[in-house]
Chain A
Amino acid sequence: MAATSRSWRLERRLSVTSGQAALARVGGVLVALVIGWLILAVTGRNAGSLLWKAIDGTFGERQGFDEMVLLLTPILMNALAVHIALRMKLWNIGSEGQFFMGAWAATGVGLYMGGPEWLVLTVMGIAAALAGAAWILVPALARAHWSVNEIITTLLLNFVAIQWVAWFSFDIWRDRAAAVVQSTPVVKARLPFFPGSETLYVGIFVPIAIAAVMFFLFRSTRWGYEVDMIGGNPRAAEFAGIRVTRRIVVVMLISGAIAGVSGMLHLAGPAQRLNSSISNNYGLSGFIVAALAGNSVIGVVAGAVFIAWLLHAGITLQADGFSVFIVAALYGLVLLGIAIGEAAARFRLVRASRQQERAVA
């Protein structure tokens, strides 16, 4: 009988197309979210109304939507920062620290520099980019020249950055006029509001512009092609005449600079005062987005909207038993889903007859 002599088995694919990989990722994320949703339901939350409120609260009203896009600004910036390094298979998990150092540098400029507002804002942005790049310099050099694992070095510096910012905001630059406020004085230079909104700032245009530039870089330029080549096979790239060590340093510095500017955009937008709690897990969220997106800039933008929505729900739906901690736990599930989905994409299910199996064995 044909039915008994044939069985399902897993077979490894020789190569995975980008379509299959994307499908596996999306599948992994969906499975993770369903599992998370089930866990929420089992732990006594009304998962159905939670999901509806999360959708309606963000996309059903202008205010909620603006708040979500406000979160999207730093998340997309951090995601792009992590993404550009990830094109080389390098993980910048220190974007949170670079974000803080960017905000710190922007605060310094904003507090002490006079002149027209546009000029102050420009200098704040430049200072933030430099501070973010400086914060990743040591991990970048150590990775490029000594092959020191960048995951741990960039991450350790997050803890240093937070103490650094705490030092300045609670002590050196502390607002002594307002005794209760544990932060610096208000930085006067502010970004304009987004046209027609009193929540959202024009800062959202910066990550959109950077995403457009990155899309072009990796699609149409030799520089982008070479970066992708190093990500694919650094030895082959070296043989092809690309100066790999130098390129690693440059890309990591760009990554740090983008994360730094995100700190400035947040400070000159909604935050206005520097303290050590101005980040709502933006670095972590950006990192999740980049991990989600793989090698696609469009994927980064789409993923950032999704994660910003999730984080917005985490912040606004606390009364319904949702929280930013649950969002972080969901991040973990989603990451695990991606990792497993990616591994699963390397296999396909085939029906093989016994004879074929024997031949293979």
Chain B
Amino acid sequence: MSGLVADILETALPASTGVALAASGEMLNERAGTLNLGQEGLMSLGAVAAFIVGTNTRNPFLALGVGLLVGAVAGIVFATAAVVIRANQVLAGLAIAVGGVGLANQIGNGRQGEQLLSRFEPVAIPGLSDIPIIGEALFDQDPIVYFTFYVLPVMLWFLLFRTRHGMNLRAVGENPAAADAVGVNVTGMRFTYATIGAALSGAGGAHLVLGYTQNWSIGVVSGAGWVSLAVVIFAAWRPFLVVLGSLLFGAMTSLGFVAQARQWNVPSYVLAMLPYLVTLALILLPAGLAAITRRGRASSAPAALAVPYYREDR
């Protein structure tokens, strides 16, 4: 049993690092009131950019950085439409999702099968990785996994809940008119975090290729972007729950491999459905529980999420 948990965890972390990065980024820009449904496209673009760089250099950090940059550029396109022009965020986000996947597939199509030279390799943390059962799974991973699961949530939590800037950021997402009244630059704040969020999603797609699949094929992201959006809802916009939710998705993906390796008598197709079904359950459960117990607010979403801000409407 303990071997099983360790086996699942060992793959679950790298399998869900991409989702966790994307979901952390999306959580951040949703906190500022911008809904970017384009995650699938951002991750696809980041993935293909990292793949192309990764087939030409041996530096995974460079490849990841390019994926991050490409995500940021796509984020600027989105933010210009959604925040500056104040276009419908659902439409603009879906545009990024659809267009990003199409563009990424077009760019990568001729390069399928090329060998990836730069990959992230595990670096064991002395001491911690010797902990029985879970030590190796949790502390013998690549640096980006460590950053995503152990550093990023702390940083985001501190930023959001322990700094004045973070308070302003949340105010922009909850009540932009009030934030504006006390001198917070609503448009600037939303634009900045929409870009940062998209950059993290691009990096997430990049890690998916560099640290997990270690090659590229059409549809390599296969829903991870959509899952990241669901994870944010499940996590109720909280940084630690975001990485935990992502890890659950990763565990389901990992379970598929473990089941095949151990020759369990479950069809591989059913195992492949599992991550999506569990993600679906993740967003249905909190809503269902809230409805049944009739406790608390129906939703903990930022109050001004996806609502464009016009100063004249105050």
B91 pairs with A153, CB closer than 8 A? no
Assess the B91–A148 pair: CB atoms within 8 A. no
With A167-B269, A325-B106, A328-B106 given, can you name 4 additional A-B contacts, CB distance below 8 Å? Answer: A148-B283, A327-B102, A329-B99, A333-B99
Q: Does B86 count as interface, using CB distance less than 8 angstroms?
A: yes
Shortest beta-carbon distance from A71 to chain B in Å? 17
Provide 18 A-B residue pairs closer than 8 Å at the C-beta atoms, listed in order of the A residue: A93-B94, A148-B287, A153-B283, A153-B284, A156-B276, A160-B273, A164-B269, A288-B98, A323-B106, A328-B99, A329-B103, A331-B99, A332-B96, A332-B100, A336-B96, A338-B91, A339-B95, A343-B81
Contacting residue for A329 out of B106, B269, B277, B298, CB 8 A: B106
What is the interface of chain B mostly: helix, strand, loop, or mixed?
A: helix
Given contacts A156-B276, A323-B109, A336-B95, are A343 and B88 in contact (CB under 8 A)?
A: yes
CA distance A167 to B274 in the complex (A): 13
List chain B residues, Cβ under 8 A from A149. Answer: 233, 283
The reply to whether B223 and A159 contact each other, CB–CB distance below 8 Å, is: yes
> Closest approach, in angstroms, between the C-beta of A280 and any C-beta of chain B?
13
Q: Tell me the B51-110 residues at the A interface (CB within 8 Å).
A: 77, 81-82, 85-88, 90-92, 94-103, 105-106, 109
Q: In the complex, what's the smallest C-beta–C-beta distance from A154 to chain B, in angstroms?
A: 10
Asked if B243 lies at the interface with its beta carbon under 8 angstroms from chain A, I say no
Q: Which chain A residues numbered 299 to 347 have a C-beta less than 8 Å away from chain B?
A: 323, 325-336, 338-340, 342-344
Query: Closest approach, in angstroms, between the C-beta of A132 and any C-beta of chain B?
Result: 18
Say whether chain A's binding surface is mostly helix, strand, loop, or mixed: helix
A340 vs B222: C-alpha distance when bound (angstroms): 28
Q: Are B276 and A159 in contact (CB under 8 A)?
A: yes
- Please state if B88 and A339 are interface contacts (CB–CB under 8 Å): yes
User: Known contacts being A153-B283, A157-B276, A329-B103, is A91 close to B98, with CB within 8 Å?
Assistant: no
Q: How far is the CB of A343 from chain B (nearest CB, A)?
A: 4
A336 to B89 alpha-carbon distance, docked (Å): 10
- In the docked arrangement, what's the CA distance between A344 and B80, Å? 13
Query: Which of A147, A149, A158, A344 has the most CB atoms of chain B within a 10 A radius of its CB?
Result: A149
Q: Assess the A339–B87 pair: CB atoms within 8 A.
A: yes
B269 touches A335 (CB 8 A): no
Interface window among A138-146, A190-198, A350-358: A138-146
The reply to whether A330 and B284 contact each other, CB–CB distance below 8 Å, is no
Contacts of B247 in A (CB 8 A): none
At the interface, yes or no: B27 with Cβ under 8 Å from chain A? no
On chain B, the residues within 8 Å of A336 by CB distance are: 77, 81, 87, 91-92, 95-96, 99
State how many angstroms separate the Cβ of B39 from the closest Cβ of chain A: 10
Contact A328 B277 (CB under 8 A): no
Complex: A12 Cα to B308 Cα, angstroms: 14
Q: How large is the interface on A (under 10, 10 to 19, 20 to 34, 35 or more residues)?
A: 35 or more
Q: Are A339 and B280 in contact (CB under 8 A)?
A: no
A288, B229: Cα distance in complex, Å: 21
Question: At the interface, yes or no: A151 with Cβ under 8 Å from chain B?
Answer: yes
Check if B267 sits within 8 Å of A339, measured CB to CB: no
Cα A138 to Cα B86 in complex, Å, equals 32
**Chain B's nearest CB lies how many Å from the CB of A201?**
28
Q: A167-B267, A328-B102 are in contact. Are A340 and B87 (CB under 8 A)?
A: yes
Q: Tell me if B98 and A328 are in contact (CB < 8 A).
A: yes
Q: Verify A163–B81 contact, CB threshold 8 A.
A: no
A156 and B99 contact, CB distance less than 8 A: no
- Whether the pair A332, B284 counts as a contact (CB closer than 8 A) is no
Q: Which of B41, B103, B279, B280 is the most central at the interface, judged by chain A CB atoms within 10 Å of its CB?
A: B280
Chain B residues near A328 (CB-CB < 8 A): 98-99, 101-103, 105-106
Contact indicator B223/A156 (Cβ below 8 Å):
yes
Residues of B within 8 A of A333 (CB): 95, 99
- Partner of B87 from the list A148, A291, A343 (CB cut-off 8 Å) is A343
B220 on interface, CB distance cutoff 8 Å: no
Residue of chain A at shortest CB distance from B308: A343
Is residue A237 contacting chain B, with contact meaning CB distance below 8 A?
A: no
Contacts of A329 in B (CB 8 A): 99, 102-103, 106
Flag whether B288 is at the interface (Cβ < 8 A).
yes
Give the interface centre of A164, A327, A329, A333 by most chain B CB atoms within 10 Å: A329
Q: Which of A148, A326, A342, A344 contacts B102 (CB 8 A)?
A: A326
